[in-house]
Amino acid sequence: MSLLFRYYSLNRLQLFIGIVLSNLILIWLSKAVLINEIVFYNTYSEQLTYDRSLKLFEDLSRISWISYAFTPIMLLIKFSLVSIVLYIGIVFCNIQDKVSLGSVFKIVIASELVFVCAGFVKFLWFYLFAGNYDLNDLVFFYPLSLINFFKTSEISGFWIFPLQTINLFHLGYIISISYGLFKVCKIEKSDSDKIVLLSYLPALVIWVALIMFLSIDASL
């Protein structure tokens, strides 16, 4: 636990840079190792010839820098939104005099490490065990989630995101936030758990419902 506490004790900039670099490494590994012209052909073989799928792969590779450029921005937006949601819970619990928004922001950044670990587990799964796969398999799979009990053909597209969201890594993320509030912000464990239950979980349900609605609307 002391190692974990020291991790949470890093400043916000160190944590943010570490998380961003970890995500960039994951993106690079996926593009360099998991996604190649064969994977593209496996994905689009029914619509495109091998030459055309190779051309598509080369065209997308040339603009792959966009994903690297937008990663820090998307992470910053995510951390800000989750921090605001959690701070609303802190206000509802009437302990805002004990906890600053900055400390919550740091805890949210630090807890993102759980999802980074999930990303590396997913990479290792496809690198070591997946065999012949396509882009749909990469998008569909999420480690230790309910989605792994189904096949792509068995469920409608709008169920993919909620089934991916319910996973053990997300549970670890929730526990990590609660632990951070308890240890770093020096509040009661019951209060830290209550904050997460009253703020993050309802917001997560709303977010999942919104993505499902958009998925249904897009399929019409």
DSSP letters of 104-150? HHHHHHHHTHHHHHHHHHHHHHHHHT--S--HHHHHH--TTBGGGGS
What single-letter DSSP state applies at residue 167?
Answer: B
Query: Who wins on pLDDT, 173 or 2?
Result: 173
Q: What is the pLDDT of residues 133-179, one digit of tens each?
A: 888 889 899 999 999 998 888 888 889 999 999 999 999 999 999 99
Alpha carbon 97 to its chain's center: 31
Mean pLDDT, rounded, for 84-93: 95
Q: Which two tokens stand for residue 168?
A: 């053990």
Report how far residue 172's alpha carbon sits from residue 148's, in angstroms, rounded to the nearest whole number: 18
pLDDT at 193: 93
Give the global pTM. 0.91
Question: Distance between alpha carbon 23 and the CA centroid of its chain, in Å?
Answer: 10
- The pLDDT value given to residue 122: 96
Residue 69 burial (CB count, 10 A): 8
As a whole number of angstroms, the distance between CA 134 and CA 95 comes to 49
Q: What is the pLDDT of residue 218?
A: 53
For the chain, what percent of residues have pLDDT higher than 90? 59
Res 219: pLDDT: 53
177 contacts: CB under 8 Å, gap ≥ 6: 86, 107, 108, 111, 196, 200
- pLDDT confidence tier of residue 217, bands split at 50, 70 and 90: low
Q: What percent of the chain has a predicted confidence (pLDDT) above 70? A: 97
